[in-house]
Structure 1
Amino acid sequence: MDKKISFPCWLKSLSFNSGPKYMALADAIEQAVKNGSLHSGDKLPTHRWLADVLNVTIGTITRGYAEAERRRLITARVGSGTFVTGKVWQQAQFNVPQKPESTLIDMSLTLQVPAPREEILAETLQMIASDPLRMTSLLDYLPETGLERHRSIIAGWLATLSIHVNPDNILITNGGQHGNMMALQAATRPGDTIVSESLTYPGFINAARQWQTHHIGLPMDEHGLIPEALEQCCLQHRPKLLYLMPSLQNPTALIMPIQRREQIIEIARRHKLLILEDDVQFVASDKRLTSLYSLAPDLVIYSGSFSKTLSGGLRTGYLCYPAHLRERLVMAMRSDCWVPPPLMAEVASEWIESGIAEQLIRWQTEAIARRQKLMTHHLKGIDIQAQTYSFHGWLKLPEPWRAETFVRHLNNKGVKVLQSELFAVGSYSVPQAVRLCISSPDSDNKVQFALETIRDILTVELDPIYRPLVF
């Protein structure tokens, strides 16, 4: 047995008194990781050895290890064995630094759920600093595409999302917004026509304006961009790039079905139209549909980021691109910043490899699910589009409300949201709606208060008695 195995210690909490034996084994592993009896890199006993010692079947051990792996506690390496992935971070362990109190509840930005990532980052930086060779690799001038090791880890991460890409076709960026700008510069020239849905991410609207492109917004339905509108636009304007968010549209929170994705790719291929697929928004792994990039890797630039999943401050994103765009992307990166700071990519890579990334995502998924239930409960009967895992919802206002008036009135009540006008492209007729983000407030109580405030304004203050006060 491997010298690192501490069998008598970490199995002390194992009990077969009640429940399935395989679950008891997984619980024992989780408890050992929590209390420090097992550490990152520790090797666990073989299935056969542990089955003999515990007097259970090998199948029980296999199921127990599988459950522990599902919880992101351990990982199996072919030909080497089963190893502990890292420390279990729990909400109860967090010591969140208190921010200055503010009377305004800001629900205007799709930020990751507040969590004390400070402790995790401090431990990670200490680990990196303790390895001189590792530090040296981060202090040299690097290739514009970033370190091959980081790109390989990102490729492995994407593979868990069923997105398979060669590390050589990955460009590390300073977050998703930077990635979108690099894609714009590589795929278009100032004066070119680009298209997107009529309601889209304001950051891309600004990037397209800065790059001096002609940006056209196309009609949408309940599934996103309407294919016939894209076909007509291609015939009339011959655009060079199509920008889409099929996995979770911002701001409408719509999901584009597979058939619609295939229709759009078919149109784009006939008209030699490149597609920029923005997949920065947080989407639960079990809710993902096949990406545009997976359907047409020769036609699609895939833009991703760790901002919504790990930390916005890491400013680490990535582009997956068709091979023929490599030189143009490298030139765009070289002229912009040469290469993003590798330390940030190193932190993201460490969190992925250690299992911290999955633990943060699991905690965030649970928090968002709670807040989505709050929104469903408090805004029952109100027209709002959202997903159970989405950071935001798209609230369509009833008559006679206008978005600008509603936002101003809500702000006076201490809640900040964004109106639909900010997401509109060109002269598109803007719906009377607002985007409200449930992820950014630092407590569920603040989310609940904001939702109750929204409900009261939409129900009580639309009574004829109150209308003169509102308008």
Structure 2
Amino acid sequence: MSEAVRQLASEGNGGYGEPSGMLHHRAAYADWIGRMGTVVDPSALMLTVNAQHAVDMAFSDIASQTKVLAVDSATYPGASAAARLRGFQLVPMATDEDGTRPDELLRAITVHRAGAYYSMPTAHSPLGVHMPLPRREQIAEICMKHGILVVEDDACVPLRKAGITSLKSLMPDNVFYVTSTAKSFSPLFTSGVTIPPRQRFQSTLGILVATVWSVAPLTSAIMARIFDERADVVFAERLRHRTAERLALAQDLLDLPASDELSFHVWIPMPLVSAERMARRCLDKGIRITPPTATVVGPGDRAGVRLCLGAPPTLDRLKDALMRIAPFRHETPEAVV
């Protein structure tokens, strides 16, 4: 941190740089993203406040092209909130164990005239699934054939397995790639990145300038030092280890299927009324879980609750919460007279 401050103090123009971020900071972020498997030119990316800001910028730009957005029937609440803020009609799509179904994406495009698609293919929130490479390739083929713009939310990028490429790598001219440092490092140093399609770079940059002008450079400078020293490699390994530890505990105590795919949360599918009841019961016990109304889009097929495993500060606290939650999983809803 002290080195980052010294470096910034030596910058000209009082520290003001390009709105997209100082070039040497963007180069460090590009190196980090490259180590995660997505090779990018530093001049093609811009720094944002966080991933949510980057998603909203992408939606703001896409809204000039289409107002119909395809989303999974259970999706990240921040994305659906941003989409609705920008006036999108959301088209929910059924999913399976591999994520977005190609036939459902085709239906959204051909029947509902969706011109854009929001995707979280790595450690999907709330479903926790990882989209395998063959499915990513199918999705990319459909999007390129129909000229669909894609917002790829890769906030959980350290959890992606080696050899599984990003959607951005498969169709660079269709994808607004989004990631952030919050889940990879700490919310204390949160910062975001967006890599728009090259033909949308200037219009997206205009939205950045109009909303925040540019991000504060201090966080970017701190993260650039971390990336330059390759400390992110150590962070990522620790993150994967601790995530696996917490996930295994949840799978054991809640009798969930074991998996070698990592996620910061688990998804427990159940009927909507049961999910709402479980959320209320947990809150009565002093445990906050994500209610189904936060994640379900329309009358989709994927009602359930999301348990965020990273919030409890210790394994003991997590274990206590999970043990109190466990009895609610299979309760039968009370009859209503």
Structure-2 separation of matches of 1:393 and 1:352 = 30
Name the structure 1 match of 2:182. Answer: 307
When Rg is computed on C-alpha atoms for both structures, the one with the higher figure is 1
Q: Given the two structures, how large is their TM-score scaled by the length of structure 1?
A: 0.67
1:313 deviates by 3.0
Structure-1 separation of matches of 2:12 and 2:225 = 14
Structure-2 separation of matches of 1:183 and 1:400 = 31
1:439 aligns with 2:314: no
1:178 deviates by 0.4
**What pairs up with 1:71-470 in 2 under 5 angstroms?**
124=1, 126-131=2-7, 134-137=9-12, 139-189=14-64, 192-281=67-156, 283-284=158-159, 286-287=161-162, 289-380=164-255, 382=256, 388-397=261-270, 402-425=274-297, 427-429=298-300, 431-458=302-329, 462=331
1:94-134 deviation digits (Å, cap 9, x = unpaired): xxxxxxxxxxxxxxxxxxxxxxxxxxxxxx1x233345x65
Cα gap change, 1:263 to 1:414, in 2 (>3 Å)? same
1:362 deviates by 2.6
1:272-292 deviation digits (Å, cap 9, x = unpaired): 111111100254354561111
1:411 deviates by 1.4
1:309-334 deviation digits (Å, cap 9, x = unpaired): 11223231111222111110111111
1:354 deviates by 2.3
1:261 deviates by 1.4
CA contact (8 A) 1:187 1:241 kept: yes
1:376-404 deviation digits (Å, cap 9, x = unpaired): 22122x4x68665311000124x797111
1:245-268 deviation digits (Å, cap 9, x = unpaired): 112211001111222211211111
Which secondary structure state, in structure 2, belongs to the residue aligned with residue 395 of structure 1?
strand
Which secondary structure state, in structure 2, belongs to the residue aligned with residue 389 of structure 1?
coil
Residue range with higher mean Cα deviation, 416-425 or 279-288: 279-288
1:160 deviates by 0.9
1:187 deviates by 2.2
Residue range with higher mean Cα deviation, 252-261 or 441-450: 252-261
| Structure 2 portions without partners, runs of 5+ | none
Structure-1 separation of matches of 2:180 and 2:31 = 14
CA contact (8 A) 1:386 1:393 kept: no
Amino acid across the alignment from 1:324: Q
Cα gap change, 1:129 to 1:417, in 2 (>3 Å)? same
Structure-2 separation of matches of 1:374 and 1:150 = 38
Structure-2 separation of matches of 1:431 and 1:268 = 24
1:166-225 deviation digits (Å, cap 9, x = unpaired): 111101111100001111122223971111111111111111111112121112122111
Amino acid across the alignment from 2:175: V
User: Which gives a bigger RCO, structure 1 or 2 (Cα 8 Å, sep 6+)?
Assistant: 2
**What pairs up with 1:5-20 in 2 under 5 angstroms?**
none
Cα gap change, 1:198 to 1:386, in 2 (>3 Å)? farther
1:240 deviates by 2.4
Structure-2 separation of matches of 1:334 and 1:409 = 45
Cα gap change, 1:411 to 1:180, in 2 (>3 Å)? same
Cα gap change, 1:400 to 1:227, in 2 (>3 Å)? closer
Amino acid across the alignment from 2:280: R
1:305-364 deviation digits (Å, cap 9, x = unpaired): 111011223231111222111110111111111111111111111111223333333322
- Corresponding pairs, count: 337
CA contact (8 A) 2:36 2:157 kept: no
Note the aligned Cα RMSD (angstroms). Answer: 2.6
Identity rate, percent: 26
CA contact (8 A) 1:247 1:283 kept: no
Structure-2 separation of matches of 1:468 and 1:158 = 49
Cα gap change, 1:136 to 1:221, in 2 (>3 Å)? same
CA contact (8 A) 1:173 1:179 kept: yes
Amino acid across the alignment from 1:240: G
Structure-2 separation of matches of 1:315 and 1:138 = 25
